[in-house]
Amino acid sequence: QKEVEQDPGPLSVPEGAIVSLNCTYSNSAFQYFMWYRQYSRKGPELLMYTYSSGNKEDGRFTAQVDKSSKYISLFIRDSQPSDSATYLCARPHRSNYQLIWGAGTKLIIKP
């Protein structure tokens, strides 16, 4: 079992829709998770952190952690074609100097 799992997609939605991207994890010992966004043929870039309790909102983006089900979600409101990218979730490695990455979900926003 992978430590961080994501549906690879692609997930295709019309512009303006609310998007839900999900990630499951197998080890609940960690207090925070990250979402990175990767545009085609580019390196990933940090989108936002989320801690293991509560939601975090940043503009059109909301990150949520459900510890009981070991589920991490990223919601995008009013989705735009510029949101088309691959979204990667990551959590700390037990060594605390590395990250464990999900394989990413490819998102396509259709105009």
Partner 1 sequence: DAGITQSPRHKVTETGTPVTLRCHQTENHRYMYWYRQDPGHGLRLIHYSYGVKDTDKGEVSDGYSVSRSKTEDFLLTLESATSSQTSVYFCAISLSGTSADTQYFGPGTRLTVL
Please report, as ranges, the residues that interact with partner 1 according to CB under 8 A.
4, 6, 8, 32, 41-46, 49, 88, 90, 92-93, 95-99, 101-104
Measured from the CB of residue 63, what is the shortest distance to partner 1 in angstroms?
15
What is d(CA 105, CA 89) in angstroms, rounded to the nearest whole number? 9
Measured from the CB of residue 92, what is the shortest distance to partner 1 in angstroms?
4
Measured from the CB of residue 18, what is the shortest distance to partner 1 in angstroms?
25
Q: Which residues contact 53 (CB under 8 A, 6 or more apart)?
A: 65, 67
Q: Report helix, strand or coil for 82.
A: helix
14 or 43: whose CB is closer to partner 1? 43
Largest Cα separation within the chain, whole Å, is 43
